[in-house]
Amino acid sequence: MTKTHLPAKFHDAVVKWQQTFLPDYDFLIENWDKYFPRDRQFELCAFRELGICNEVECGDAEGEPKRTKAAALHPEQAGHLLGAIRAQASTEFGSIQQHQLTLARAQNEEEQFWILRMMAEELRHGYQMLHLLLDDDWSSVTDASSEDLVEETLSMRTGSHILGAFNVDFDSFVDNAVFCALIDRVGKYQLNMQRVSAYKPMAESMPQMLREEAFHLAAGVVPLRRWMEQAARELPYVSTSDIQKTINKWFPRGLEMFGDERGGGTNVRFGLKPMKNLEAQDLYIEEVGKLVRDLNMRYIRARIPGLDLAQAEQVLNRILADRGTDQGIAWEDLVHLPDRAFFRRRGVPAFELAGWQGESFEDLPSYLEHLRRHLPDAYRASRDFRHYVEQAQKLTGGEVTLREAVSAMPGLRRVGGVCPCSKSVRWVAETPQSGAAAGDSGSAA
């Protein structure tokens, strides 16, 4: 594995960004040994894996040497790739902004520290994507300068990111955990697919990111399992219904991160990913199904400690088969995988009136009532949810077409002045001043 850093002014820009959006970074580093005594210290850098496959692994150019420069790609191919790198960078930085909103609300210090480490690793992932943007010449497919590309990424906020999942606010620490378990899991699929990328620097960037991703999933799943256990013991903290509603909030956004169910063929032809969108989405749904089953098993065994593994599995199977009650445990006490058409705003089922268990609804008011009952209270007070409802109403009223509703994004709602970094901040220094403190060099537009 090789390790590199961005040119100083871009590195400084990321550090400045970190000081604003990940203020607990220093706390993490200072206390690293308390929670991760044997782990290598975190470092903000880009890693490239050596010895990865040299030949294009899928698509039209299968078997040809992988490209090491964007200029060696077909322009359309390079355009797709650049879009993917920018989107990936946006997700990495975006998720930190979201986690930061509720990080302080964790009940358990260890779990909080896990999330904090995960945030630092997301910063490294964002840094890795900036490294891809800066280490090559993209002028054949964009007019944007290196500075502009970095600036664009670093100036995005919750509300202006490229993918919907990164524009939704967190309301409690349950969001931190469910997001890791569901949204980072989509990330794992994307990284895994990009591991075969015909663009070698992308392929070489994936292995270390994937290693880190394994922990991100655990950092979500372990707290979820603990909450299931506590709920089974009737402790008053996070209920299974809270978890279910939070899954309902994120799962649809996770599905949409795969892209439209009809698409993905171009990426395969270009050798950038080995699977079309629907194929990857199907695998993801199956995997989330396993997670849900695992959580339910954790619950049942805590609720009836006398059952052994096989007996608990039988109880779960009976409850799922008839949606009934077995040994005092009701279907409603457990968590379930939402239907893939539920609460969608993009892709094939966009704006279908599909219930969380696949029920269909005659009219919008009864569907909205259904959403009211199955989404978290705090989320329904959000800008994002309001936007969905308004688009659904306009669509029903014939004011917009489906295509318009799908492509509408929740408006930017952060305004200058609410925080130290108003819109006018530039992250990348125009002219690097020798001797200037790293923290000062990124601002002043």
Partner 1 sequence: MSETLADVRIRCLEDTDLGHITGIDEKIGGSYRPEVWERRMAYYSRRDPDASVVAESGGRVIGFMFGEIRSGEFGMEEPTGWIEVLGVDPDARGKAIGRQLAESIMDYFRRSGATTVRTMVDAEMVGIERFFESLGFEPASLRPFVKKLSEGA
Interaction of residue 291 with partner 1, rule CB under 8 A:
yes
Beta carbon nearer to partner 1, 290 or 423: 290
Site for partner 1 in 122-181 (CB under 8 A): 181
Q: Which two tokens stand for residue 26?
A: 């220093």
Interaction of residue 115 with partner 1, rule CB under 8 A:
no
Interaction of residue 52 with partner 1, rule CB under 8 A:
no
Q: Contact, 138 vs 149, CB < 8 A?
A: yes
Q: Contact, 43 vs 5, CB < 8 A?
A: no
Tokens 């094939």 locate to: 348
Q: Contact, 271 vs 193, CB < 8 A?
A: no
Beta carbon nearer to Fe ion, 136 or 213: 213
Cβ partners under 8 Å of residue 277, min gap 6 = 258, 259, 260, 261, 262, 263, 264
How far apart, in whole angstroms, are the C-alpha atoms of residue 355 and residue 338?
A: 8
Interaction of residue 222 with partner 1, rule CB under 8 A:
yes
Min. distance of Cβ 19 from partner 1 in angstroms? 25
Considering only 5, 19, 32, 36, the residue that binds partner 1 (CB under 8 A) is 36
User: What are the residue ranges of helices labelled H in 103-238?
Assistant: 109-134, 146-154, 173-194, 200-232
Interaction of residue 404 with partner 1, rule CB under 8 A:
no
14 CB-contact burial (10 Å; exposed 0-12 / middle 13-18 / buried 19+)? buried
Considering only 26, 39, 62, 76, the residue that binds partner 1 (CB under 8 A) is 39
Considering only 48, 99, 124, 125, the residue that binds Fe ion (CB under 5 A) is 125
Interaction of residue 119 with partner 1, rule CB under 8 A:
no
Interaction of residue 129 with Fe ion, rule CB under 5 A:
no
Min. distance of Cβ 309 from partner 1 in angstroms? 5
Interaction of residue 233 with partner 1, rule CB under 8 A:
no
> How far, in Å, are 87, 283, 332, 358, 393 from residue 279 at the CA level?
20, 7, 30, 20, 32
How far apart, in whole angstroms, are the C-alpha atoms of residue 358 and residue 339?
A: 5
Considering only 9, 216, 245, 344, the residue that binds Fe ion (CB under 5 A) is 216
How far apart, in whole angstroms, are the C-alpha atoms of residue 197 and residue 77?
A: 11
Beta carbon nearer to partner 1, 211 or 423: 211
Beta carbon nearer to partner 1, 78 or 224: 224
- Return the H-helix or E-strand segment holding 100: helix 75-102
Interaction of residue 120 with partner 1, rule CB under 8 A:
no
Interaction of residue 282 with partner 1, rule CB under 8 A:
no
Task: Tell me which residues touch partner 1 (CB under 8 A).
Answer: 36, 38-39, 114, 117, 181, 210-212, 214-215, 217-219, 221-222, 225-226, 229, 287, 290-291, 293-294, 297-298, 301, 308-309
Task: Tell me which residues touch Fe ion (CB under 5 A).
Answer: 92, 122, 125, 184, 213, 216
